Amino acid sequence: MENNFYEQERSLERGVAGESLGRYTAKTFLLMFLGLMVTFGVAMFLTNTYYGLYAVVYALYYVPYVHLVLLVAELAVVIGMTACLHKISATTATVFFFLYSVLTGITFSVIFLSYDLASLVLIFGATALYFGGMAVFGYVTRIDLCRMRNILLGGLIFLIVMNVLMMFIPALEVADQVVCTIGVIVFLGYTAYDTQKIRGFYGAYQGDEAMLKKASIFSALQLYLDFVNMFLYLLRLLGKRKN
């Protein structure tokens, strides 16, 4: 993708028959937005209604290893969708995407119980602002952001290692603000990078309408994960916990 970046840019200016790059990108972001609405809708329902709250409390107290079960389920959906993207239909990929959104909403319900509602709304708005700014940059820039890939991957590995270590070494929690700040920066970078990848997929699959649709769903998932992770790091950094 790196070697053909500028050649693809010239090709994209001519567009793909039947759908412009702008429309294709807009559809991808719309799908991402719908996934976010499902996630936050599920989380809000489970934490702000009698039956939803009852279900969450029951699961926490009476379902063994519920957190681990949800984590494994989320990983299974993402890995399954990614590994089988070329084999499954666009409809199946969409089902996987919204299934993941629901599972994440269930996980978020536990987090939402710990934070003030006004703080959650404020952090969501801040995340949307930062995400939107970097998405616009990724869409309009002529700089090949593929050069950032190794740096972003290194940052992601650092975050994973530090979060695992902090689970087992409480003394490392003093570095939580630093880790969260790096997390926000990494996923800001990923937002721009993944937005530009939409252009790459659009150019690469011009002759394959089915794969073009599935690439859009895959891009929506990547952007969804960028937003969710940025939101979580900002929440840890700036969120106000309930008393």
Q: What is the pLDDT of residue 78?
A: 85
pLDDT tens digits, 103-113: 999 988 888 88
Give the number of other Cβ atoms within 10 Å of residue 220's Cβ. Answer: 25
In a domain, 14, yes or no: no
In a domain, 9, yes or no: no
Does residue 4 register a pLDDT over 60?
Answer: no
In a domain, 133, yes or no: yes
In a domain, 69, yes or no: yes
Q: How far is CA 157 from CA 116, 151, 152, 183, 204, in A?
A: 30, 10, 9, 11, 28
Range of the domain at 145: 20-238
**pLDDT tier at 233 (50, 70, 90 boundaries)?**
very high
pLDDT tens digits, 35-80: 999 999 999 888 888 888 878 877 777 777 777 777 788 888 888 8
How many domains does the chain contain in total? Answer: 1
Cα dihedral 73, 134, 161, 165 sign: negative
Q: Do the beta carbons of residue 201 and residue 215 sit within 8 Å?
A: yes
